[in-house]
């Protein structure tokens, strides 16, 4: 895909554990007129009913990957690959290149001073071929204690605490995430307060990112 005709804006990577409040953060930036590219939203669009990617998943894994209405059964797939590294690798081999290509496409068409790239497993994928971290000039890491993650995620998704804890255990640990964030100079946003407190923090970041996005000031992360 040729994106040479476009100049992508400065890219601010956004990540955090399940239930940390990444959506609230990306929603704020969207209301400020900032382009938000969300890897999860892209993944959902790519696996829409009747899509080529969904056909590939059916061919690879079987017809069970769709429900009675022909829609992608994400819960079934998530449960299937959870403890099967080889099967997860197959799924990622199908999904990741397509997601990466769509992210590049959306970034190349973003017109805001900077863009937010929201990727839940941004740190976990830093050693993969489609290294989305390499696209980022700066980072936001949304942080809450694990107890808050469990409470929020169970309330949002109606999943059992044990299921959510298992998902958390599969992700990079909170300590490792914060350590990596520090080493990369990320902005760590404590999201244990109210929505107004969160917006106040994000407003300050927004003003700083606007300054960062001025010509010749964007620099890639030193990884």
* 51 is known to lie in a ligand binding site: no
Q: Is 109 or 164 the better-scoring residue by pLDDT?
A: 109
Contact 123, 177 (CB under 8 A): yes
* 98 is known to lie in a ligand binding site: no
* 17 is known to lie in a ligand binding site: no
pTM of the model: 0.88
**What is the pLDDT at residue 191?**
98
pLDDT in tens, 155-205: 876 667 888 888 888 889 999 999 999 999 999 999 999 999 999 999 999
pLDDT value at 3 more than 50: no
pLDDT value at 132 more than 70: yes
Domains with residue ranges and CATH for the chain: 10-211 (3.40.50.300)
* 23 is known to lie in a ligand binding site: yes
| Angle (CA) 131 32 134, round 5° | 10
The predicted model gives 50-73 an average pLDDT of 96
pLDDT in tens, 30-40: 999 999 999 99
* 58 is known to lie in a ligand binding site: no
* 20 is known to lie in a ligand binding site: yes
């Amino acid at each position: 895909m040729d994106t040479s005709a476009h100049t992508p804006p400065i890219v601010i990577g956004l990540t955090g554990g399940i239930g940390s409040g990444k959506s609230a953060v990306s929603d704020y930036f969207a209301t400020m007129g900032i382009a938000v590219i969300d890897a999860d939203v892209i993944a959902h669009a790519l696996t829409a009913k009747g899509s080529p990617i969904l056909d590939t998943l059916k061919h690879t894994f079987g017809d069970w990957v769709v429900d009675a209405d022909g829609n992608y059964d994400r819960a079934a797939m998530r449960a299937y690959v959870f403890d099967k590294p080889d099967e997860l690798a197959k799924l990622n081999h199908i999904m990741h290149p397509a997601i990466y290509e769509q992210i590049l496409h959306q970034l190349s068409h973003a017109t805001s001073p900077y863009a937010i790239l929201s990727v839940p497993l941004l740190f976990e994928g830093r050693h993969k071929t489609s290294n989305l971290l390499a696209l980022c000039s700066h980072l936001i890491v949304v942080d809450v204690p694990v107890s808050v993650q469990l409470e929020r995620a169970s309330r949002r998704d109606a999943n059992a605490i044990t299921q959510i804890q298992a998902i958390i255990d599969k992700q990079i640990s909170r300590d490792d995430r914060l350590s990596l964030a520090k080493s990369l100079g990320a902005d760590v946003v404590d999201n244990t307060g109210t929505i107004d407190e969160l917006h106040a923090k994000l407003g300050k970041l927004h003003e700083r990112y606007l300054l960062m996005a001025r010509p010749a000031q964007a620099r890639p992360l030193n990884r």
